[in-house]
């Protein structure tokens, strides 16, 4: 089969040059987004070839979350650190896979900060299920020293966020204030093409996504919220946050990973997962909360900290929050 070239649609580089180049708020963003696209292109090829190349397996290291780092987790982290460092615009990088802050440079040109989950959904790698990469992008303040503290900014200070989902197609979604654009990788030309312009979460919520296997561990109020969702919506749960979020963004839906009495902070990472996706959800008309407050208002105390996450259609997120808080 020959692919029909979507020649009339802009590539990511054309789109970025047009949309952001003359806007001083987005200085350097072009280079960062292009670097992410280049890294995603490399990782996508590795993922597709992983089984054949027999590179799946554990690296033997234990990462800061105490999980076994799979080979592709490390490869993705290294690749994105490399392309982002070479962009010339990044002062510091935080990665879920790296305990310490990666300080890249502190010239005036190094005006951006990136925090990332380089490979999300690792447990789905070796079963050919969708996985992804997630990026939050922050501006470095004028004269702000390039230290570890650069990673402790609130989500509301993000200037942009992006994710890539490696699924039946590879899609990169990029958001800046009030604008969410989706690009699909043309597997022949190896270019991202604008395929999902001006994304908004549909008004109607169709599904809820949660690990129902955790039901018995939840407190009573959260169980009540789950029961309400079961009554109203279909359940869809991939187990890769980025894939669950992408489906819900396109079709309408809510994702929740709450805390429980044993782990009140839940499982997901504030800076690498919740804040970037929270930013994207809000720009698309949705909402993102922890159990208590707007995700993007949380002041991080540690780059690797976790948070409960409820994200998706605004009305349903708010109703669910209310039940979780009142019981």
Binding residues for ligand AHG (CB under 6 A)? 96, 117, 120-122, 211, 239-241, 267
Mention every residue, 6+ apart, whose C-beta is less than 8 A from residue 117. 95, 96, 133, 134, 242, 269, 272, 273
Least distance between ligand AHG and beta carbon 80 (Å): 13
Residue 240 binds: one of ligand AHG, Mn ion, none (C-beta under 5 to 8 A by kind): ligand AHG
Nearer to ligand AHG, 114 or 139 (CB): 114
Nearer to Mn ion, 116 or 287 (CB): 116
Least distance between ligand AHG and beta carbon 246 (Å): 12
Q: Does 117 bind Mn ion (CB under 5 A)?
A: yes
Q: Mask 76-115, x = binds Mn ion (CB under 5 A)?
A: --------------------x-------------------
Nearer to ligand AHG, 120 or 282 (CB): 120
Nearer to ligand AHG, 12 or 309 (CB): 309
Return the residue nearest Mn ion (CB atom): 120
Q: Does 120 bind Mn ion (CB under 5 A)?
A: yes
Least distance between Mn ion and beta carbon 70 (Å): 9
Could you tell me how far CA 214 lies from the centroid of its own chain? 23
Least distance between ligand AHG and beta carbon 120 (Å): 4
Residue 44 binds: one of Mn ion, ligand AHG, none (C-beta under 5 to 8 A by kind): none
Nearer to ligand AHG, 96 or 282 (CB): 96
Mention every residue, 6+ apart, whose C-beta is less than 8 A from residue 204. 252, 313
Nearer to ligand AHG, 39 or 121 (CB): 121
Nearer to ligand AHG, 15 or 272 (CB): 272
Mention every residue, 6+ apart, whose C-beta is less than 8 A from residue 227. none
Could you tell me how far CA 124 lies from the centroid of its own chain? 16
Work out the burial of residue 125: count CB atoms within 10 Å of its CB; fewer than 13 is exposed, 13-18 middle, 19 or more buried: buried
**What backbone torsions phi and psi does residue 315 show, to the nearest 5 degrees?**
-65, -40
Q: Does 244 bind Mn ion (CB under 5 A)?
A: no
Q: Does 260 bind Mn ion (CB under 5 A)?
A: no
Mention every residue, 6+ apart, whose C-beta is less than 8 A from residue 216. none
What distance, in Å, lies between the first and last C-alpha atoms of the chain?
55
Name the token pair of 105. Answer: 């440079």
**What backbone torsions phi and psi does residue 65 show, to the nearest 5 degrees?**
-90, 5
Nearest to 178 by CA among 202, 165, 160, 193: 160
State the residues that interact with Mn ion by CB under 5 A.
96, 117, 119-120
């Amino acid at each position: 089969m020959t692919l029909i070239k979507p020649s009339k649609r802009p590539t990511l580089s054309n789109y970025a040059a047009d949309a952001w180049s003359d806007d001083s708020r987005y200085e350097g963003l072009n280079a960062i987004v292009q670097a992410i696209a280049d890294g995603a292109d490399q990782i996508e090829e590795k993922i597709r070839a992983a089984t054949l190349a027999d590179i799946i397996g554990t690296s033997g290291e234990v990462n800061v979350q105490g999980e076994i780092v799979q080979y592709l987790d490390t490869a993705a982290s290294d690749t994105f650190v490399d392309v982002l460092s070479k962009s010339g615009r990044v002062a510091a990088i935080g990665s879920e896979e790296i305990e310490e802050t990666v300080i890249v440079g502190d010239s005036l040109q190094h005006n951006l900060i990136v925090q990332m989950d380089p490979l999300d959904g690792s447990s789905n790698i070796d079963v050919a299920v969708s996985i992804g990469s997630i990026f939050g992008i922050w501006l470095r303040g004028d004269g702000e020293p390039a230290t570890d503290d650069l990673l402790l900014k609130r989500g509301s200070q993000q200037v942009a966020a992006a994710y890539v989902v490696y699924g039946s197609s590879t899609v990169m979604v990029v958001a800046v204030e009030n604008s969410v654009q989706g690009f699909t990788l043309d597997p022949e030309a190896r270019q991202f093409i604008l395929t999902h312009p001006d994304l908004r979460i549909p008004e109607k919520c169709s599904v809820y996504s949660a690990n129902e296997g955790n039901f018995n561990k939840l407190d009573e109020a959260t169980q009540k919220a789950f029961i309400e969702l079961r009554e109203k919506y279909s359940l869809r749960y991939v187990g890769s946050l980025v894939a669950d979020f992408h489906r819900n963004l396109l079709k309408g839906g809510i994702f929740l990973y709450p805390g429980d009495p044993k782990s009140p902070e839940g499982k997901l990472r504030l800076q690498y997962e919740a804040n970037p996706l929270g930013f994207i959800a809000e720009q698309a008309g949705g909402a993102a909360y922890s159990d208590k407050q707007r995700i993007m208002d949380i002041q991080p105390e540690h780059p690797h900290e976790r948070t409960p996450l409820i994200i998706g259609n605004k009305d349903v997120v708010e109703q669910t929050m209310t039940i979780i808080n009142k019981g």
